[in-house]
Amino acid sequence: MPLSLMNYLKFIFWVGVLASVANLAAQPSVSVEERLKALEQQVQGLVRENAELKQQLGGKDKPSPVVPQPGGKETKLVIGGFLQGQAEFGRAADPRWNGVRDRFFFRRARIYVAGSFAENFDFKAELDLQGNTLGAGTGQLARANEIYLNWRKYAFANLRFGQLKPAFGGEALAGDTSIFTIERSLSSDRLTDGRQLSAAVMGELLDKKVSYLAIVANGNGANVSANDNSKFQQSVRVTYTPLATVKDKLVVAMNGLWTDDVNVAKSDFGLPGNVFTGSRQMRGIDVFWTHGRFDLNAEWLHGTFKPTGGVPAAKFRAEGWQATAAYFVIPARLRAVFREEAFDPNTAIGGNTIHTTTMGLNYYLKGEDIKFMVDYLDGHVPGSVTDGGRLLTRMQIIF
């Protein structure tokens, strides 16, 4: 156990006393009286030095702080989380802000416990205190977010069980604290799915140039332990990195998702009550390129929907894309961001595509740990009288 400050000072004191005694003992020609006098002088000097050192360090004679200890046998235990406080102003740049006024709110407020065992197991349990929604919610309750158990003995085949994101959508799978814009694109929000109870296998191959993720899930959303129809959602993602140097990196990924749904929430597709029952087949491709201060990522997503009720059609297709460019105006400090995106909820209908342009600035006070973001979204929603510009601001703290 670590010594308290007072015990440390006492230790230094007695080491000095013993050293003085040993020094005097090595001088046989000196009388006992002279030795005692010299020893007394040295002890007084040590007392003064001890008091001065204690005053400089601001030390107090108090017990050592209590340190929490793991309850199990894990070799590593980490407690962390992050906060994203936001202020928003303006009109509904896309349907996600319909009915949402100017406001202050926490977009995400999360805390987690993670750890690992010597036997190649690790785990994470994360709690979201704000419900993780853009909607104008009230009375939001804390809820489980990302939870998993992972066996990582083999780099080419990690096995994971928990509440996970499906293996579909590069922007959707990117970390909430590291994306370049405050919000993901509308097509990513509408065409990908959120976390759900799943079993996954993932790994890296060919000297880490190729990675893969395959997931089988219940298919009906987060914090739901039931399966809507006794079938499982399946998703696969394969990533290839042909170039990886200090200044340049290129990553290309392809993914797909297949599922049969019963009353799954899906907005903006013209579905009765915004719920979908039927089958979906999704596919997509995304590219990420880094060159010095410049970053470019682009994604295309496409889905084929076959609703059981035949509304809005027996089969319809939806697709969307986004392209985002980011450049460090001041290296590691100030980054400018520009994004163009489009979302078409039904490709068989003309004139219904939603277009949005985003311009932003990110200021990194301490990397991603302390970051300030400002985005202006210029949205155009066909037939809407409330679309237009919306200003988003965020302060992010990772702890």
Per residue in 333-346, pLDDT (tens digit) is 999 999 999 999 99
Contact 40, 32 (CB under 8 A): no
Q: Does a structural domain hold residue 137? A: no
CA distance 116 to 65: 25
Q: What three-state secondary structure class fits 96?
A: helix
Q: Does 41 fall in a domain?
A: yes
* 168 and 294 co-located in one domain: yes
Instruction: Flag whether 129 is in a domain.
Output: no
Q: Which residue has the higher pLDDT, 57 or 33?
A: 33
For 90, the domain range is 82-107+151-398
Same domain for 87 and 28, yes or no, is no
Confidence at 74, pLDDT banded by 50, 70, 90: confident
* 40, 174: one domain: no
Q: Which of 22, 40, 57 is the last residue of a domain?
A: 57
> Looking at the domain assignment, is residue 19 inside a domain?
yes
Please tell me the pTM assigned to this model. Answer: 0.81
In the predicted model, is pLDDT for residue 254 greater than 50? yes
- When pLDDT is cut at 50, 70 and 90, the band that residue 224 belongs to is confident
Same domain? 49 vs 89: no
Does residue 33 lie in a domain region? yes
CATH code for position 198: 2.40.160.10
Residues 297 and 353 in one domain: yes
pLDDT of 289 reads: 98
Which residue has better confidence, 137 or 359? 359
Quick check: is 116 in a domain? Answer: no
Examine residue 388 and state whether it is found in any structural domain, yes or no: yes
Q: Which residue has the higher pLDDT, 13 or 191?
A: 191
pLDDT for 142: 84
Residue 140 has pLDDT above 80, yes or no: no
Quote the pLDDT of residue 70. 76
Return the closest-CA partner of residue 110 out of 142, 68, 70. Answer: 142
Number of domains in the chain: 2
What pLDDT score was predicted for residue 183? Answer: 98
Letter string b/e over residues 262-295, b meaning 16 or more CB atoms within 10 A of that residue's CB: bebebebbbbeeeebbbbbebbbebebbbeeeeb
CA dihedral 344, 348, 351, 354 (to 10 degrees): -10
User: Do 10 and 103 have their domain in common?
Assistant: no
**Residues 94, 12 share a domain:** no
Does 69 score more than 90 pLDDT?
no
Note whether residue 382 is domain-resident. yes
